[in-house]
Amino acid sequence: MNRLAGKIAIVTGGTRGIGLAIVQGFLTEGARVVFSGTSEASLARARGALPAGAESEGVVADLRDPANGARILERASARFGGIDILVNNAGTLSRSNEWQTTPEDWDLVMGVNLRTVFFLSRDAARMMKERGGGSIVNVASVAGQIGGIAGSPAYSAAKAGVLGLTKSLARRFAPLQIRVNAISPADIETDITAGFPPEIRARLVAMTPLGRFGAAGEVVGAALYFAADESSFVTGQTLAVNGGLFMS
């Protein structure tokens, strides 16, 4: 308990699935948390899943518009006084295959999953350096490591880009004492994966040595580790939470 006491965190896409689980875990460990969602309705549902009296605030921010990232940072600064931790979790999944993907599909997936991660991280780093450092945690995907099965080529490419960006920013932000790491989950039981066709789910489970999809809560420990001071000498790393689906 209290591994994040006194810390201020932002979690994008924090209203459901992995993002909501991370928000809950951070609050339990003593952080104050600003989280984003795409609508007031999604924020209201998330608030209902948080502990009573939790020091948290939801912000409507559709990250398809990169300008909205700045609004999240401004809210964290106004409400809590700054930022120590950023979790870039928001993303969008396209299942258009290589023949169906349009330029618009490609740009949307790249924009939400990769472009936003860079610009939000850069803006957050400007604030973190005023507090003497911080931690950025990027939620990537095993699709970026194996090429993907359920998602589109654009999704795999974007998540591979997140892994490369993590290393690049880790080197550049290190002099500011800002650590940048990534989590790379495989398939996690969420409302998104619940919609996978049965044959795709069966194929993915068969490929996974542990023989199942993960739970959102099983990703939280990795996020806590990278966010907390116990990982103070760790940067530029990717922690796989994938049941053995990909072993590097």
Which residues are the active-site residues?
A: 155
* Whole-number Å distance between alpha carbons of 23 and 220: 9
Helices (H), 111-237: 116-128, 143-146, 153-173, 198-207, 217-227
In whole angstroms, what is the distance from residue 5 CA to residue 217 CA?
20
Token digits of residue 59: 């912000």
CA distance 2 to 21: 17
Please state the three-class secondary structure of 170-195 as a single string.
HHHHHHHCEEEEEEEECCECCCCHHH
What number of CA atoms fall less than 13 Å from residue 243's CA on the CB side?
19
Please say whether the beta carbons of 15 and 85 come within 8 A. Answer: no
The radius of gyration of the chain from alpha carbons, rounded to an integer in Å, stands at 17
Query: Which residue type sits at 231?
Result: S
